[in-house]
Amino acid sequence: MEKTIAIIPARGGSKRLPNKNVKVLGNLPLLAHSINYAKNNAHIIDDIYVSTNNEEIKKIALKFKAKVIDRPEEISGDHEPTVSVLIHALQQLKDVDTVILLQPTNPFRPKKLLSEAFHKYKKSNAESLFTVSRDHKKLGKINEEKFEPFNYKIGQRSQDLEPLYYENGLLYITKASLIRNNVIFNEQSYPYIVNHRFANVDIDTEEDFDYAQYLFKKYNKNDNY
């Protein structure tokens, strides 16, 4: 039987929003939202792991019934890629087939997202899946103090734009074998489209956190969360 785990990378020492992973969002530490989401998908996820270098984060993870992987300081810096954290986690574990990456800075996810995305991942036979959302902005570059439209022609209506998508960070599903080759997703991965208000939440600043607080207060009682 294939084993699927969730890994939540949550280091201490964030600079733009100090202690963000333990800040209380709604009625829970930020980290706990992703742990609870994983627990609510126990029909898919066999074990939940938090990778951290921080004692306070570790205590919260254990309180909410996640397992902890102690992360070395050498892979806990600002510029360390997430794939290094996943590789380290897999080195501590055995017989893992699939990894679901849940970033604590994306605390809100539609209830059925993982079930639907995991079904698509299995059906597609892709080695990985990641979530994307459509961007409706008119984008361009500034070159020699002149604006050069990128995805539209000046005067074109917004509704006629060529569809462009961005990686929203809600979740990633990846074969463990691919991660061991230093890859979370690539050009062959399945892009799963999520057009939902929660895709706009990615907490790095106080303003991001305030927006997340607003969404929690407005939609917490709605069954979308």
Residue 14: the pLDDT is 81
In a domain, 146, yes or no: no
Residue 15: the pLDDT is 81
User: Can you give the residue range of the structural domain that contains 192?
Assistant: 4-134+165-219
Tell me which DSSP letter residue 96 carries.
-
Residue 53: the pLDDT is 96
In a domain, 148, yes or no: no
Alpha-carbon gap, residue 116 to 111, rounded angstroms: 10
First to last CA, the chain: 30
In a domain, 103, yes or no: yes
In a domain, 111, yes or no: yes
In a domain, 154, yes or no: no
- Tens place of pLDDT for every residue, the chain, 225 residues? 899 999 999 999 788 899 999 999 998 999 999 999 999 999 999 999 999 999 999 999 999 999 999 999 999 988 899 999 999 999 999 999 999 999 999 999 999 999 999 999 999 999 999 999 999 899 999 999 999 999 999 888 888 888 899 999 999 999 999 999 999 999 999 999 999 999 999 999 999 999 999 999 988 745 445
CATH code of the domain covering residue 82? 3.90.550.10
In a domain, 144, yes or no: no
Q: Count of alpha carbons within 13 Å of 32, Cβ hemisphere only?
A: 15
Tell me which DSSP letter residue 182 carries.
T
Residue 77: the pLDDT is 87
In a domain, 87, yes or no: yes
Residue 170: the pLDDT is 98
Query: How many domains is the chain partitioned into structurally?
Result: 1
- Is residue 1 helix, strand or coil? coil
In a domain, 101, yes or no: yes
